[in-house]
Amino acid sequence: MQARIRLAAPLLALVSVVAMNCAPASRPEAPAASDAPAPAERAPRTVVVALNREPVGLAAINPLASGFGANFPARAFNAYLELVDDKAAGRPYLSTALPQLNTDSWRVFPDGRMETRYQLKPNLTWHDGAALTADDFAFAWRVYTTPEIGVPQANTAPINIMEDVSAPSPATLLIRWKRPYPNAGVLPVDGSTNLGLPALPKHILEAPYKEERWDSFPNLPYWTTEFIGLGPYKLDRWEQGSFIEAVAFDGHALGKPKIERLRLVFIGDRNAAFANMRAGSIHLAAEQVLTFEQALELKREWATTNGGVFLFTPASTRHFAFQFRPDVLTSHGLLDVRVRRALAHSLDRQALSDALWGGEGVNLDSFFSPRLDFFPTIDRGIVKYPYDLRATERLMTEAGWARGADGFYVSPAEGRFTLDVRATVGPESEAERTTAANGWRQAGFDTQESLLSVALSSDGQARATFTGVSTNAQSSTEPTMVASFTAGQVARPENRWNGINRGGWTNGEYDRAAEAFNTQLDPAERIQARATIARVWSEELPGLMLYYNLNAAPHLSVLTGPTFPAPESMGYVGWNIHEWDMK
């Protein structure tokens, strides 16, 4: 946990410099009643959003594979066939409706292939006024899947499951699928690897695409300073290295945004961003602009002034993973589920959450978001492990362990139970390790602490061969979390240790439920698959689920509309930017 930020005197000078660059939104003084202008003459309002660095481009899927793609700009400047809201529910966006299974809009063939069909809303245009047609989506698919361009999303769902994308008419989009894909009705757009099928303007990019100059295609000014999109805001000015300015798009599919102008400022120094937030020079700090502790300090200040709203977004899930490879374990007692359950009962997760997130953490008992409408169905089957040292002692006794004279658990067969708790590099991981290790030590487990070095943090074998327990952060999207514990994802020499199942746990019932989750098209059956996954995981405990890894995104009270989003919502805190308003 980082120490509380204390602003030094030199920072005050930095505040004034950055504040000038940030150009706070104009809030004109109320004119006298006698000469008050008509509402139409009101000066345009500007919402100022801080980013922690400059994006390499504004497209949702950017061919600059090695560049930084920022979620917030992608949402502000792009629109999609659907919009995933803060409850993880899909809504039509550019389309009139979402495909419905077993109708003409979503057909499944005997061999498992599928077709989904979209009708575009009428009179949609690009930011430059050119008409949007279904051909823009078909052209985009060709661009994304051109190997020479090397778009990384071409190798992930949903694009890698698409067999063909065509436009039977200007308003009709037809997607043919290689196999069953449950998310075909609401293409996943989560701001990371899954980015749906965003259109590209064929009238701008087709000519350079046909030239096949693949080295220069990703560097066209279209992707940056001449970007044309479909989103709520359209690019007005990009002062590289400083800021981006945009204006509300009249032709936006969900209506013109309420706030007329958007200004994105790049502030890489967290202390400077914190000072500007306190000064009111920025209205919202996007994810990773501030430390979580800085945001908590703002919350404490705002508690008496109503100056702002403390908001955070779930960037990933955090959990402890247990090792299941007998050849690397320091204590084979960990292979006994009763021992793992004893460890679960002796982990004070609330204290751990409070230590990291200042009481704002969202504790989890499964991979699945508690915000899902159907979560109660999942939750009913989950085994819970409240902090209970009596339960720990009972389970350890049942497993053949007793506390020795020094207070640590021993058994006639195994000797002393030893547990190595390893952290991956990072302040959150190290704080988790130390807090958990101290608690387990007091509960009678001889616990040691270790750290995976920076040099080995990208080494698959090193990450998979921890000897007891390892801290982990994983994408909060359902497909990634479910895959993290399947047999097919076990990291092993045969796959050069590239699997994301690093503990090596396998379970047939879990794998069958995961396969159903990945292929079952009926929504009710997928809910049942989720419920089975959550139940088996909680019963067998291949790890201990903790909480969301949080990114702070505080905003001033003058700005209304930002909400705590679902992990699947594109742009995270900006998913509904078109609905934001200013007092």
307 and 331 in a single domain? The answer is: no
299 and 369 in a single domain? The answer is: no
What gap in Å lies between CA 578 and CA 255, rounded to an integer? 8
Looking at residue 361, its pLDDT comes to: 85
In this model, does residue 427 exceed pLDDT 50? yes
What gap in Å lies between CA 494 and CA 67, rounded to an integer? 31
407 and 377 in a single domain? The answer is: yes
What gap in Å lies between CA 126 and CA 235, rounded to an integer? 12
349 and 410 in a single domain? The answer is: yes
Looking at residue 551, its pLDDT comes to: 84
Q: Residue 26 — pLDDT band, cuts 50, 70, 90?
A: very low
419 and 535 in a single domain? The answer is: yes
In this model, does residue 192 exceed pLDDT 60? no
Say if 34 falls within a structural domain.
no
Q: Residue 14 — pLDDT band, cuts 50, 70, 90?
A: very low
What gap in Å lies between CA 545 and CA 7, rounded to an integer? 36
545 and 564 in a single domain? The answer is: no
In this model, does residue 24 exceed pLDDT 70? no
What gap in Å lies between CA 541 and CA 580, rounded to an integer? 42
Looking at residue 12, its pLDDT comes to: 34
480 and 377 in a single domain? The answer is: yes
93 and 214 in a single domain? The answer is: yes
Say if 494 falls within a structural domain.
yes
Q: Residue 39 — pLDDT band, cuts 50, 70, 90?
A: low
Looking at residue 70, its pLDDT comes to: 60
Structure tokens that stand for 430 in this block: 């190290």
For 95-136, the pLDDT digits (tens) are 999 999 999 999 999 999 999 999 999 999 999 999 999 999
Looking at residue 62, its pLDDT comes to: 84
Q: CATH number for the domain including 401?
A: 3.10.105.10
Say if 28 falls within a structural domain.
no
Say if 36 falls within a structural domain.
no
Say if 38 falls within a structural domain.
no
What gap in Å lies between CA 70 and CA 54, rounded to an integer? 8
H/E element, 582: strand 581-582
In this model, does residue 66 exceed pLDDT 50? no
Using a cut of 0.95, tell me whether the model's pTM lies above it.
no
In this model, does residue 213 exceed pLDDT 80? yes
Average pLDDT over the chain, rounded to an integer: 89
Structure tokens that stand for 436 in this block: 């958990």
Q: Residue 313 — pLDDT band, cuts 50, 70, 90?
A: confident
CA 501 to chain CA centroid, Å, is 19
Looking at residue 131, its pLDDT comes to: 98
What gap in Å lies between CA 436 and CA 418, rounded to an integer? 14
Per DSSP, the three-state class of 33 is helix
CA atoms within 13 A on the CB side of 449: 16
DSSP E strand stretches across 270-429: 284-285, 308-309, 312-322, 402-403, 409-411, 415-416, 418-423
478 and 573 in a single domain? The answer is: no
Question: For 476, phi and psi rounded to 5 degrees?
Answer: -85, 0
276 and 219 in a single domain? The answer is: yes
Say if 566 falls within a structural domain.
yes
- % the chain with pLDDT above 70: 89
338 and 478 in a single domain? The answer is: yes
In this model, does residue 159 exceed pLDDT 70? yes
For 236-255, the pLDDT digits (tens) are 999 999 999 999 999 999 99
Per DSSP, the three-state class of 519 is helix
Looking at residue 357, its pLDDT comes to: 87
In this model, does residue 479 exceed pLDDT 70? yes
Bridge partners, 103 (sequence order): 106
Give the mean model confidence (pLDDT) for residues 257-286. 96
Q: CATH number for the domain including 58?
A: 3.40.190.10
In this model, does residue 432 exceed pLDDT 60? yes
Q: Which domain holds residue 396?
A: 315-550
Say if 33 falls within a structural domain.
no
- % the chain with pLDDT above 90: 70
Q: How many domains does the chain have?
A: 2
348 and 422 in a single domain? The answer is: yes
Looking at residue 190, its pLDDT comes to: 57
Say if 544 falls within a structural domain.
yes
